[in-house]
């Protein structure tokens, strides 16, 4: 994740980062079978090498 450090205060940057990380929590864990299904990789091929 990239953190933009423009013309904002440290507190604003921390709040924005916290909001972005919180939004990602719903995507943090996914079963392998779901990752395989969504990847488009054919079944006999490994998803990771």
For residues 19 and 46, give the distance between their C-alpha atoms in angstroms, rounded to a whole number.
34
Count of positions (residues) in the chain: 49
pLDDT value at position 43?
Answer: 86
Geometric angle at alpha carbon 14, from 13 and 15, rounded to 5°: 90
Residue 18: pLDDT over 80: yes
Average pLDDT over residues 29-34: 85
Q: What global pTM score does this model have?
A: 0.51
Contact status, residue 47 vs residue 30, Cβ threshold 8 Å = no
Region 16-40: mean pLDDT is: 88
Q: For residue 8, which of 39, 41, 22, 19 has the smallest C-alpha distance?
A: 19
């Amino acid at each position: 994740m990239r953190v933009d450090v423009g013309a904002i205060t440290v507190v604003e940057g921390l709040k924005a980062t916290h909001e972005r990380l919180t939004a990602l929590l719903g995507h943090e864990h996914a079963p392998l079978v779901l990752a395989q299904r969504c990847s488009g990789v054919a079944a006999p091929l490994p998803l990771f090498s």
